[in-house]
Amino acid sequence: MNSSSNFNAKDAIPAPIAGTHRVDYPSTIAFPPPLQPSDRIALTAPSSGLRADLHPLAHRMRDYLTELGYEPMIGESMWTNYKCVSLPRAERAAELERYLLDEEVKAIIPPWGGEFLMELLPLLDWDRIRQLPPKWILGFSDISTLTFAYTLQTGYGSAHGPSGIDIAESKDKTTSRWHDLLTAAAGQPIEQQSSAKYQSKADYTKAGFNLDAPTRWEWLGHEEQPDAELHMSGRLIGGCMDVLAALVGTPWAPVNDFIQHYGAKDGMIWYLESCEMNAGAIYRHLWQMQQAGWFQHTRAVLIGRPAGYEPLQEFELLDALHMVFDELRIPVVYGVDIGHIPPQVTLINGAKAELTVIDGHGTIVQTLN
């Protein structure tokens, strides 16, 4: 059935919705049911939308999902973008909430990220969202603001993976695994491998990704034991550091409660990517997360290839990782296929994962239980 938003987008911005108290988590993570043919998928832009010259990208998203057998529906937020956002925050929140509360909608896939999705979180009725079955949300960059909060606010799984535009434009075997994860049955293990090559420079004259540089997943200290193998397991959680750090200390990211509930037994594997941050900014964000207790019960950390990156004088990315994680004695794998430098694996927040890294090659096996 269709459920209307709890506020009128044309009215003044409402006060934050009640229901940001301690979350009563289910005993185990609840994952959305696997997507089925004819399922309805909402295409909406809760962060940045598409200018008029980019509207063909929305049509390609729709056409590709139709080819896969789904019923895509396109929200009004997809068609505009001004001052970094698709629509005013109340209108974006109303459209997003409408899809979150519509039980006929089985998945939400935005076109890409943006800048200010965090301003929608106080406007959503989380109490009502928790009362409904989980549904898939897929994306990365600023969309991880939503997927991260959705999992932490509900105990429901969500997917950090390619954007809607990426899945329509790029069919490489790493990127395309998003579909295997979102159609996986409960308890079915899904194995993903590190890519053979990644895109070191974008070539916009060619369709899809320009995969030109060899991929290697490395871990801190591996140079001292070149023949060693890394094997770790835990529940996945993470997203884009640029936006997740803004949630530290807010009601929308009860990370410590979530970790105590699910991580004390199974352990956690954090995955983090970045965009437009230098080594110093990455260090500050990781330090803030560490000081907030986010890395309790953590068994491993995965760091994606940083986009728009540069060192801060002589201070490099590896210095930042050593500064935070050496003292915690947490293994850190870097150069992972996550985030803004494609391709990327799809990681399910809350899923049990087994991680293996051998001689620069990585394997992640996820199980939705």
Give the pLDDT confidence of 73-113 residue by residue, as tens digits. Answer: 999 999 999 999 999 999 999 999 999 999 999 999 999 99
The angle that helices 279-291 and 317-325 make with each other, rounded to 10 degrees, is 10
Q: Which CATH class is domain 40-186?
A: alpha beta
CATH superfamily, domain 192-367, is LD-carboxypeptidase A C-terminal domain-like (3.50.30.60)
Is residue 190 helix, strand or coil? Answer: strand
348 DSSP assignment: E
Sign of the torsion formed by the C-alpha atoms of 256, 261, 262 and 266: positive
pLDDT band for 341, please (50, 70, 90 cuts): very high
* Residue ranges in the chain assigned as alpha helix (H): 55-67, 89-101, 126-130, 143-154, 164-169, 178-182, 241-244, 255-258, 264-266, 279-291, 317-325
Express each pLDDT in 239-265 by its tens digit.
999 999 999 999 999 999 999 999 999
Q: Are 218 and 335 in contact (CB under 8 A)?
A: yes
pLDDT band for 21, please (50, 70, 90 cuts): low
Is residue 224 helix, strand or coil? Answer: helix
| Domain positions in the chain | 40-186, 192-367
Cis peptide before 343 (omega within 30 of 0): yes
Q: Are 357 and 229 in contact (CB under 8 A)?
A: yes
Return the CA Rg of the chain.
19
Q: Scanning the structure block, which residue is given the tokens 């997507």?
A: 35
Q: Lowest-confidence range among 5-14, 24-33, 39-48, 310-319?
A: 5-14
In this prediction, residue 208 carries a pLDDT of 82
Q: Are 193 and 346 in contact (CB under 8 A)?
A: no
